[in-house]
Amino acid sequence: MWKVELKYILFFLLPAFSLISLLYALTVWTFLMSFTNWSFGVRFSNLKLVGFANYAELASNPRFWVNLRNNIAWLILFVVPTTVLGLILAYLLESSPLRLERILRPIFLYPAALSFAVSGVLWSWIYDPWEGVFNDILFKMGFKEVIPWLDDPKIAIFPIITAAIWQYCGFATIIFLAALRSGVLKDAIEAAKVDGAGSARILIDVILPNLRHALLVVVSLLTIFSLKVFDLVWIMTRGGPGYATEVLAVYMYILAFQQDLLAPSAAVATIIVALTSAVLLPYTYYAIRRWSKRG
């Protein structure tokens, strides 16, 4: 609406976008650093380019592949249940009386307001093999074995993912709920009802197809989260036992701050960004197009 003049650019745009540019600049720095031999004690004058050596090193390290496998496990074990659960809850909320919904919505959403530190500590306790609620309940139900939740490399990932699902489900629910409430969808449902379609039909043929956009949003965001998750894993298991539950972000931190291997750490960071971009770029492009189409 307004005409662009230099002084307006300076006043409105410059502060925010200078910071955003800095954000990008630092990302490029990380990217460039991953091709050097940077580590503790290597001054800038001694910095050497080593090409893809850091990446080759990572590729030949089984630990890296374990991390990748874990991130993919997060993709499957976290994204899918959270999405499905969010969808189910949103649908149920939508078809329940208003008062119930008003009470329940904040109940589902409040975990998103908590720090990962809090949920990490909380769920670590719940899953503690000897003193935790979970095993206690199982014990009272008759299980004689103490299930070593956070100790067994094969199952240690489940407590962490449970905590993540608990925290993010409400978020998915809210998004689906908003989509279910959209005017377009409501009109379509009305039309179908007039045509005499039953609930199940409506669900399958009308509602689900129209949730495509919301589905995309939720899955994209959860996928990005799966790729960059750090806090929960670090607090609950430190990536252990050994590196069984380690994810890329945790390995990146360990490389930089415990092993002083800064260049390999930058390489892992770059890989995280690359993987997230694979999801991000299409999604953002899609969202912008949709946005601009609506005016």
Q: Which residues within the stretch 131-190 sit at the binding site for another protein (CB under 8 A)? A: 131, 133, 136, 148-151, 153, 156, 166, 169-171, 174-175, 178-179
Sign of the Cα pseudo-torsion (190, 196, 198, 202, in order) = negative
Both structure tokens of 47: 């910095």
Q: How far is the CB of 98 from another protein (least distance, A)?
A: 11
* Dihedral-angle region of residue 239 (phi above 0 means left; psi in -120 to 50 means alpha; beta otherwise): left
Q: How far is the CB of 160 from another protein (least distance, A)?
A: 11
Select from 111, 161, 211, 267 the one that contacts another protein (CB under 8 A): 111
Nearer CB in complex with another protein: 77/233: 233
Residue linked to tokens 């045509």: 195
Q: How far is the CB of 15 from another protein (least distance, A)?
A: 4
Say which residues have a Cβ less than 8 Å from residue 119's Cβ, sequence separation at least 6: 111, 163, 166, 167, 232
Select from 52, 65, 110, 143 the one that contacts another protein (CB under 8 A): 110
Nearest Cα residue to 171 out of 82, 99, 96, 94: 82
Q: How far is the CB of 205 from another protein (least distance, A)?
A: 19
Nearer CB in complex with another protein: 150/164: 150
Select from 68, 72, 73, 122 the one that contacts another protein (CB under 8 A): 122
Select from 37, 53, 63, 210 the one that contacts another protein (CB under 8 A): 63
Select from 217, 219, 222, 267 the one that contacts another protein (CB under 8 A): 217
Looking at residues 251 to 270 of the shown chain, list those that interact with another protein (rule: CB under 8 A): 252-254, 256-262, 265-266, 268-270
Q: How far is the CB of 35 from another protein (least distance, A)?
A: 14
Q: Is 36 helix (H, G, I), strand (E, B) or coil?
A: strand
CB 263 within 8 A of CB 54: yes
**235 lines the binding site for another protein (CB under 8 A):** yes
| Preceding amide of 241 cis, omega within 30 | yes
**Orientation angle between helical segments 98-109 and 80-94, nearest 10 degrees:** 160
Nearest Cα residue to 74 out of 227, 183, 280: 227
Build a one-symbol-per-residue string for 271-290: x at contacts with another protein by CB under 8 A, - elsewhere.
-xx--x---xx--xx-xx-x
Residue 199 main-chain phi, psi, to 5 deg = -55, -45
Binding window for another protein (CB under 8 A); candidates: 47-55, 69-77, 204-212, 228-236: 228-236
Both structure tokens of 258: 């415990």
Q: Is 49 helix (H, G, I), strand (E, B) or coil?
A: strand
Build a one-symbol-per-residue string for 8-47: x at contacts with another protein by CB under 8 A, - elsewhere.
xx-xxx-xxx-xx-xxx-xx-xx--x------xx------
Build a one-symbol-per-residue string for 69-108: x at contacts with another protein by CB under 8 A, - elsewhere.
-------------------xx--xx-xxx--x---xxxxx
CA end-to-end span of the chain, whole Å? 13
Q: How far is the CB of 265 from another protein (least distance, A)?
A: 6
- The span from the CA of 243 to the CA of 248, in Å, is 11
